[in-house]
């Protein structure tokens, strides 16, 4: 280990002096910059600290008028208000900027963009649409188109969503646009416009051959026309498109097989699906169909096998349901108590969960209500997903 030299002690005062000098320079710089700010800036800060945001806005407006380089104060304050949910104040602040005539073009566009975001957060979609439409053709054109696309989806204006998506090649997936056409198809089917619906579904499948939703709806059109065999063939494609969605196809398939008098074939097909792609929702359907058409013993055997393979609350609940029907009156009372406890927990876990944001709900959505993702909300219960993980 090298020996410490006495002369090295002289370095400490030198380093201390250099640090003191640097601090003095920094302090002088801060003082010089603060002196260059208008008094309104400090008034605004004082109002803000005293939780008087309206007076703070007025003061900061004066700052911008006197010293335009402080415009970022407005944007920072407006973002703060928006994050805190004080949307009326955020709108008022950004509107005050939009109304200014002396702002540079890029700053004016930013103010409009911030105002549009305020309106969207407040649910004032018509005003947000007006603002972002004004931004079309500016340096923020792409941002405006993205915002308008989101607005049209929220308003369920699918025609305009398709139109603006066409202006954004590469930015909007064909899978997403296929869902826009499916939305229009469902609307047409609800209004008995069958040919229009068919045209939209054909377009959807052209855009995305793996679009399960379009396949299901096309099968619905065929089944409506009495073409059950063709509908069955079409619905069976779901297995290759995305087997996660077989739970949505199962009731359709079984109904079509029943209308053809081929119940055994339908049960065989669905049992095979459950064997290859175990799912709680699919199990629920298969159990009901087996109980209805093959009896309690077959339903109990199905539930027991699934419970051994995948130990879940739903499997236990279905097993107990079948077992109850085989017990005498004295034994049934205790079993019913057990089933009521299991059923309560099963209902609590019977929720679908978005794979993108984690939002949960009791029903399936093609578009997540929370994050807006398409096909991020598979028809699988949270318990099922947790078990698979």
The confidence score (pLDDT) of residue 279 equals 85
What CA–CA distance (Å, rounded) separates 304 from 300? 6
Percent of the chain with pLDDT over 70: 69
pLDDT: is 360 or 225 the higher one? Answer: 225
215 located within any domain: yes
Mean pLDDT of 379-389: 54
The confidence score (pLDDT) of residue 86 equals 86
Least confident among 85-94, 194-203, 265-274, 353-362: 353-362
CATH of residue 218's domain is 1.25.40.10
Mean pLDDT of 293-317: 79
Query: pLDDT digit string (tens) for 52-101?
Result: 666 666 666 665 554 555 677 678 778 878 888 889 888 988 888 888 77
Are the beta carbons of 243 and 276 closer than 8 angstroms? yes
What CA–CA distance (Å, rounded) separates 89 from 98? 14
Nearest Cα residue to 179 out of 380, 352, 377:
377
pLDDT band at 370 (very low <50, low <70, confident <90, very high): confident
Strand residues in the chain grouped as ranges (E) = 352-353, 360-361
1: pLDDT strictly greater than 50? no
pLDDT band at 336 (very low <50, low <70, confident <90, very high): low
pTM of the model: 0.76
33: pLDDT strictly greater than 60? no
Query: pLDDT digit string (tens) for 202-247?
Result: 999 999 999 999 999 999 999 999 999 999 999 999 999 999 999 9
What CA–CA distance (Å, rounded) separates 75 from 81? 10
262: pLDDT strictly greater than 90? yes
118 located within any domain: no
Which domain covers residue 221, as residue numbers?
174-241
Q: Which residues are annotated as a binding site for Fe cation?
A: 354, 357, 368, 371
- Please name the residues in contact with 306: beta carbons below 8 A apart, sequence gap of 6 or more: 274, 278, 283, 315, 318
Last residue of a domain, one of 241, 260, 282: 241
387 located within any domain: yes
The confidence score (pLDDT) of residue 179 equals 97
What CA–CA distance (Å, rounded) separates 77 from 66? 18
Last residue of a domain, one of 241, 261, 277: 241
What CA–CA distance (Å, rounded) separates 217 from 212? 9
Last residue of a domain, one of 241, 268, 294: 241
344 located within any domain: no
Least confident among 23-27, 134-138, 190-194: 23-27
52 located within any domain: no
Return phi, psi of residue 353, to 5°. Answer: -135, 135
105 located within any domain: no
Q: Which residues are annotated as a binding site?
A: 354, 357, 368, 371
- The top-scoring range by mean pLDDT among 163-172, 195-204, 379-388 is 195-204
- The count of structural domains within the chain is 2
The confidence score (pLDDT) of residue 149 equals 95
376 located within any domain: yes
Mean pLDDT of 46-50: 57
351: pLDDT strictly greater than 80? no
363: pLDDT strictly greater than 70? yes
Are the beta carbons of 214 and 249 closer than 8 angstroms? no
Mean pLDDT of 336-345: 59
The confidence score (pLDDT) of residue 31 equals 36
The confidence score (pLDDT) of residue 84 equals 84
196 located within any domain: yes
Mean of all residue pLDDT scores within the chain: 80
Mean pLDDT of 250-274: 96
What is the four-CA torsion angle of 53, 58, 63, 65, rounded to 10 degrees? 150
The count of C-alpha atoms lying within 13 angstroms of the C-alpha of 38, restricted to the half-sphere facing its C-beta, is: 18
191: pLDDT strictly greater than 90? yes
What CA–CA distance (Å, rounded) separates 38 from 110? 23
Residues 94, 98, 99: CA angle, nearest 5 degrees: 115
Least confident among 13-17, 108-112, 127-131, 132-136: 13-17
27: pLDDT strictly greater than 60? no
């Amino acid at each position: 280990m090298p020996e410490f030299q006495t002369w090295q002690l002289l370095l400490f005062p030198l380093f201390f002096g250099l640090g003191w000098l640097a601090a003095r320079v920094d302090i002088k710089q801060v003082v010089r910059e603060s002196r260059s700010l208008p008094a309104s800036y400090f008034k605004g800060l004082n109002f803000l600290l005293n939780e008087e945001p309206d007076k703070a806005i007025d003061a900061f407006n004066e700052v911008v008028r006197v010293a335009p380089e402080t415009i970022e104060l407005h944007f920072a304050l407006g973002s703060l208000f928006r994050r805190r949910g004080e949307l009326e104040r955020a709108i008022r602040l950004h509107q005050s900027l939009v109304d200014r005539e002396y702002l540079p073009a890029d700053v004016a566009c930013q103010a409009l963009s911030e105002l549009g975001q305020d309106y969207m957060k407040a649910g004032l979609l018509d005003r947000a649409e007006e603002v972002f439409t004004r931004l079309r053709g500016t340096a923020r054109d792409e941002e405006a188109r993205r915002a308008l696309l989101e607005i049209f989806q929220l308003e369920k204006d699918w025609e305009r969503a398709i139109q603006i998506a066409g202006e954004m090649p590469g930015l909007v997936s064909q899978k997403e646009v296929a869902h826009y056409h499916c939305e229009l198809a469902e609307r047409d089917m609800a209004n008995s416009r069958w040919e229009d619906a068919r045209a939209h579904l054909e377009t959807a499948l052209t855009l995305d051959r793996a679009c399960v939703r379009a396949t299901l709806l096309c099968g619905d059109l065929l089944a409506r026309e009495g073409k059950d065999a063709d509908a069955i063939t079409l619905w069976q494609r779901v297995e290759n498109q995305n087997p996660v969605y077989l739970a949505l196809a199962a009731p359709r398939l079984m109904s079509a097989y029943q209308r053809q008098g081929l119940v055994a074939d339908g049960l065989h097909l669905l049992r095979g699906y459950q064997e290859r792609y175990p799912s709680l929702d699919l199990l629920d359907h298969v159990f009901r169909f087996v109980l209805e058409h093959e009896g309690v013993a077959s339903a109990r055997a199905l539930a027991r096998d699934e419970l051994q393979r995948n130990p879940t609350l739903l499997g236990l609940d279905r097993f107990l349901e079948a077992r109850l029907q085989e017990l005498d009156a004295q034994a049934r009372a205790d079993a019913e108590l057990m089933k009521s406890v299991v059923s309560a927990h099963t209902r609590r876990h019977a929720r679908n969960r978005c794979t993108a944001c984690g939002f949960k709900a009791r029903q399936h959505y093609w578009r997540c209500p929370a994050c807006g993702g398409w096909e991020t909300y598979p028809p699988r219960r949270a318990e099922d997903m947790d078990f698979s993980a």
